[in-house]
Amino acid sequence: MILEVRPEKNKNIDWLAEQTKQLLSDQKKSWPLLNKNYENLSLVQTRTFEFDGFEVDVQFNPERIKSSNADVSKEAINGRQCFLCLQNLPDEQNGLATNNFLILCNPYPIFPEHFTIARRNHEPQSIENSFEELLDFSHELGKHYTLFYNGPRCGASAPDHLHFQAAAKNIMPLERQFDGIINKYSTAVFSNGNTEIHLIEDGLRSFISFESRNKRELLSTFFVFLNAMKKAFPLEDEPMMNITASFEHGIWRVFVFPRNVHRPKQFFSKEENQLLISPAAVDLCGLIITPRKEDFEKITRGDIIDIFKQITITKEHFEFLRKKLGEAFTF
Ligand SMILES: [Zn+2]
């Protein structure tokens, strides 16, 4: 059953966050598969790897095999029923409907609270067409949740149907470690009192942080960045990137991870160095998901460094973005 919600009629900004929390609590009672998968989540094993000033967790989560192994080729997508379209949702699935989106519980969670927020219409994954809505949801759900977006060619398992995900706030290691990382590893490319943009290279990842108390400014600076990305990666589809967005104390915080490839060579290897890891926003935020026990047990710190080097953009591309952003913004 889909419940229509009109949060704009409610003065309390946290209203939708509370409704979303309630949805999960209700679904645990009404949907046995979902409830079982949440119970199993408390049993997942985690390994922690130390880096200079931060940590990366590896989670063994067998329920994620379908997602990690998803065939997202055009043929496969065209040949299947879209699992985010309303008419194809499981009978047990309930949801909250805003004007343009459905908030749905993810029945195969990685986090203690995990949602998919899908456009009501079937239309392709596109950050250009949805970045403002990503910011709006991160604001409205910000009391409890962090939003994330995976590009159509780097992690979205439904590249043909626009969607975000939401995770319990501060569950991804990078969210908790960011203050230390920004002090140690960042250079500012823009700062005007309302908005700050930093480029960060922490030895494992290169990414960009946007922090702003002004949505209009955040939108315009992001679109300057998106145009620089399109120049650096002139593709037919949008440049590959994973994004997270959160909101706290009146400030949006957006991390953008530009990508070089979708899956590392270890994913495709037929040899014993095979690792079935298909990184997306969550992995880049320091929570690597391994659906197979053997990968969870054998992965090393060196593998993590090697995989991140392959999937994130090169030094040259990062310097190109730095130059373009530097030209666009002056202090
Ligand atoms: Zn669809």
125 C-alpha to center of ligand 1: Å?
10
Tokens of 230: 């399109």
User: What mean pLDDT is reported for the chain?
Assistant: 92
| pLDDT for res 43 | 83
SS3 state of residue 273: coil
303 against 157, higher pLDDT: 303
Contacts of 293 (CB under 8 A, 6+ apart): 60, 62
In the predicted model, what is the mean pLDDT of residues 97-104? 94
Show the domains of the chain with their CATH numbers: 2-328 (3.30.428.70)
Query: What are the pLDDT digits (tens) for 255-305?
Result: 999 999 989 999 888 888 899 898 999 999 999 999 999 999 999 999 999
200 C-alpha to center of ligand 1: Å?
35
Kindly state the helix (H) or strand (E) to which residue 57 belongs, with its residue range. strand 54-60
308 C-alpha to center of ligand 1: Å?
31
156 C-alpha to center of ligand 1: Å?
13
119 against 65, higher pLDDT: 119
Query: Chain centroid to CA 161: how far?
Result: 15
239 C-alpha to center of ligand 1: Å?
22
Q: How confident is the model at residue 27 (pLDDT cuts 50, 70, 90)?
A: very high
Residue 9: is its pLDDT beyond 70?
no
83 C-alpha to center of ligand 1: Å?
6
* Strand-pair partners of 251: 248
85 C-alpha to center of ligand 1: Å?
4
50 C-alpha to center of ligand 1: Å?
40
Query: What are the pLDDT digits (tens) for 227-268?
Result: 999 998 888 889 999 999 999 999 999 999 999 998 999 988
In DSSP notation, 97-147 reads E-SSEEEEE-SS-SSSSEEEEEESS-----STTTHHHHHHHHHHTTTTEEE
159 C-alpha to center of ligand 1: Å?
9
| pLDDT for res 37 | 93
| pLDDT for res 234 | 87
Q: How confident is the model at residue 11 (pLDDT cuts 50, 70, 90)?
A: low
33 C-alpha to center of ligand 1: Å?
22
Q: How confident is the model at residue 78 (pLDDT cuts 50, 70, 90)?
A: confident
Percent of the chain with pLDDT over 90: 75
Taking every pair of Cα atoms in the chain, the longest distance, rounded to a whole number of angstroms, is 58
Q: How confident is the model at residue 64 (pLDDT cuts 50, 70, 90)?
A: confident
157 C-alpha to center of ligand 1: Å?
11
